[in-house]
Amino acid sequence: MTNPLTFEDETAARFARRPWPTTSIRPGVEVSFEFFPPATQAGEANLAACAAQLEPLGPKFVSVTYGAGGTTQDRTQVAIRSLEATTTMAVAGHLTCVGATQQQVGEVIDDYIAAGVRHIVALRGDAPEGQTGGSVAGGYRDAADLVAGIRRHVAGTSAEGMEISVGAYPEVHPKAASAQADLDSLKAKLDAGADRAITQFFFDTDAFLRFLDRARSAGITAPIVPGIMPVTNFANTCRFSERCGTTIPSWMHELFADLDDAPEVQQMIAATVAAEQCRQLAEHGVNQFHFYTMNKPEITAATCRILGVTPASVRSRQAQAS
C-alpha cells in the first residue's frame, strides 16, 4: 500500500499542474493589511519599515487595531496619524464600543476624522482583562448598534461617506449562541450600514466557503473579505486560534514541527501555506484578501508576490487606469 500524499507533496503537485502567473491571480485582485499600534520607539520604527515594505503593493487600505476596552486608543491614533502623514495609503481605524459611552466613542470618531480617516473597522470588542460583559450605561449595545451610531454621528459632515467594515466569523464567534445567531448578528451589522465584513483568520478554506454560501443564502450581498494570517510564529498562532475558535488543521502541526531553529524554512512554508489558501479561494471567485501582518511584513510580502501582487503589477494597473 502506498503512503498517502503529504500536504507538502499535494502542494508541490498543485503548483506543478498550474503555470506560474505573470499577472495577478484574478483581474482586479485587491489586498489590504492590518497593523497593530507599537508601544515603543523601536516598535514605531518597525511599523514605519513595515508600511514602507508593503505600500508598493498598492493595498486598498491598511487598518490599525484597537485594544480591548480601548486600551490602545492613544497609541492607535498616534499610529494612524503617522501612517496618514508618511504614506499615501488609505488608513482605517479600528473602533470598539465595549467599556465606552456613546459620547466617548463619538470623540474617537471625531479624532479619526481630524486625522483624515474615512474608514472605520467597527467591532464590539472584548472586555478588558478581569472584566466581564463590558457594556456601560450610555454605551452601544453591540456592533450593529455601533455601526448605526457611526452613521448618525457622521451624517451631514464632511465624513458622511465614511466606509465601515465589520467582523465576521467563518467558524462562529466563540460567544455566539449558535451559528445561526452569529449569522443573524452579521446581517444586522450590515443592515445597520456597514459596507463590508472582514473575517477572523482561518486555515480551513472549506469552512470559509461554507460560511460564504450560508451568508449568501441568508440574503447577505455585501463583500465578505477573508482574513489571512501568514504564520509568523506557530506557537503564538495556536494560542490566538484557541482564543478565537479557529481550527488548526493537523497537517499544519506537522508542517511547522521542529522549526524553532530554522526561521528561514518556517517563513518559506508560511508563505506557501498562505498563498495556497488564497489560490484556493480565488478559484472560487474570491478576489479580495485582508492580511493580518502582525507588523512582520516579510511573509505577507512574499505571499503577495507568489500571488502576482507585486510593485510592477500595481504600477501596470495604475497606468491602465490613468
Is 267:197 a contact under the CB 8 Å cutoff? Answer: no
pLDDT, tens only, 205-263: 999 999 999 999 999 999 999 999 999 999 999 999 999 999 999 999 999 998 888 88
Residue 105, CA atoms < 13 Å, CB-side half-sphere: 35
Gyration radius from the chain CA atoms = 20
Catalytic residue chosen out of the listed positions 34, 55, 171, 276: 34
Cell digits for 290? 485582508
**What is the amino acid identity at position 305?**
R
Phi/psi at 6 (nearest 5 deg)? -75, 170
Per-residue pLDDT of the chain (322 residues; tens, 9 = 90+): 445 555 556 555 544 554 444 444 555 689 999 999 999 999 999 999 999 999 999 999 999 998 655 557 789 999 999 999 999 999 999 999 988 899 999 999 999 999 999 999 999 987 655 555 557 888 999 999 999 999 999 999 999 999 999 999 999 999 899 999 999 999 999 999 999 999 999 999 999 999 999 999 999 999 999 999 999 999 999 999 999 999 999 999 999 998 888 889 999 999 999 999 999 999 899 999 999 999 999 999 999 988 889 898 888 877 777 7
pTM for the model stands at 0.89
Residue 297, CA atoms < 13 Å, CB-side half-sphere: 18
Which residues, in sequence order, are bridge partners of residue 202? none
283 in catalytic set: no
Is 204:276 a contact under the CB 8 Å cutoff? Answer: no
Q: The CATH number of 7-312 is which of 3.40.50.300, 3.20.20.220, 3.30.530.20, 3.40.190.10?
A: 3.20.20.220
The angle at the Cα of 218, spanning 214 to 219, to the nearest 5 degrees, equals 125
Which DSSP helix (H) or strand (E) runs through 93?
Answer: strand 91-96
Cell digits for 179? 451559528
Whole-angstrom distance, CA of residue 96 vs CA of residue 75: 14
All structural domains of the chain with their residue ranges: 7-312
Helix, strand or coil, per DSSP, at residue 208: helix
Tell me the torsion sign for CA atoms 98, 64, 61, 308.
negative
Q: How far is CA 2 from the centre of its chain?
A: 40
